[in-house]
Structure 1
Amino acid sequence: MLATFETELINTIKELNENTAPYLGEFENKDEMSLLIKGGDSFVFIEFVGENYKDMVKKIATYNIHILSTTQSKNKEARLENRLNAIRLCEKIDLALRNSLLSNEFAIKPNELKVSFNSISDYGYAYVLTRAIQTEFIEKTYFLMEEE
């Protein structure tokens, strides 16, 4: 259920930004970050945060959507435009998810949006917005399945 949802979530966002993938610790690795910054593009990473049961059959899953916008330029105007690009992409993702129907069959609720990385390095400038989202799932059991 969660794996299917994550795949669909990634594919939905990939329609807006081809550089979308699961988050695998890229921000913790200096070499990986330098490669991303040198790429001078926008990237979206999907991170599964956790899930908990609301009751006996409903569970809530939480994901982070990390929007990384990079530029090799360190000048102020380029950094500002880079930051605005991340905000615009976040707004497009929010709209797409609000209108999507993924396998969870419930709405995707956007939660907090925060800046999780904002830095100038030897390679350029990187800005990361992190949007937390939540959605519900119903655990299907033989009690909930329809008869054929």
Structure 2
Amino acid sequence: MDIIVSRLRLAGTAPIYQYRARVPLYEVGPARRPRCVVLQATLGNGRVQSTRLADVIAPDSWFERHLAIPCGLAARLTFVARRIEALIIRTVYPEMTAELPPLMFALDHDPGDARFCVTTADLNGIFDRVSPDIETLMAADLGLHQGGDRRAA
């Protein structure tokens, strides 16, 4: 599964960055694709439709629910998705050391904007499998290796 990982500098004098990992919609399972939040991500010279990791990792039963979803389940899904996102981001950008991706991350140097496409194991519907052990989950469990298979996006 391809994941687009980006580091974008926010306007200002201090080197403050935003780190994100997005999944291109073509990587999302066909049954869950219509239920995903659609975002735009830059890939190569163009933009592709993408989505958040939470929509990808959510169990199939998540999409069968109606509008009333217990807050605890929603919070757990968000936490697990953000933890996985941080593992993916830190594999590509080791300077981002946070356990969960913050909205803004200050650096003491200015590495510049960057985008990469990395390959992971299939993340569709893995929530139930990884949620119990999320605190000990490692990048290698997702098929990632430090500085490994990344291509300029």
TM over 0.5: no
What TM-score does the superposition give when structure 2 sets the normalisation length? 0.29
Greater RCO between the two (CA within 8 Å, min separation 6)?
A: 2
What TM-score does the superposition give when structure 1 sets the normalisation length? 0.30
Structure with the larger strand share: 1
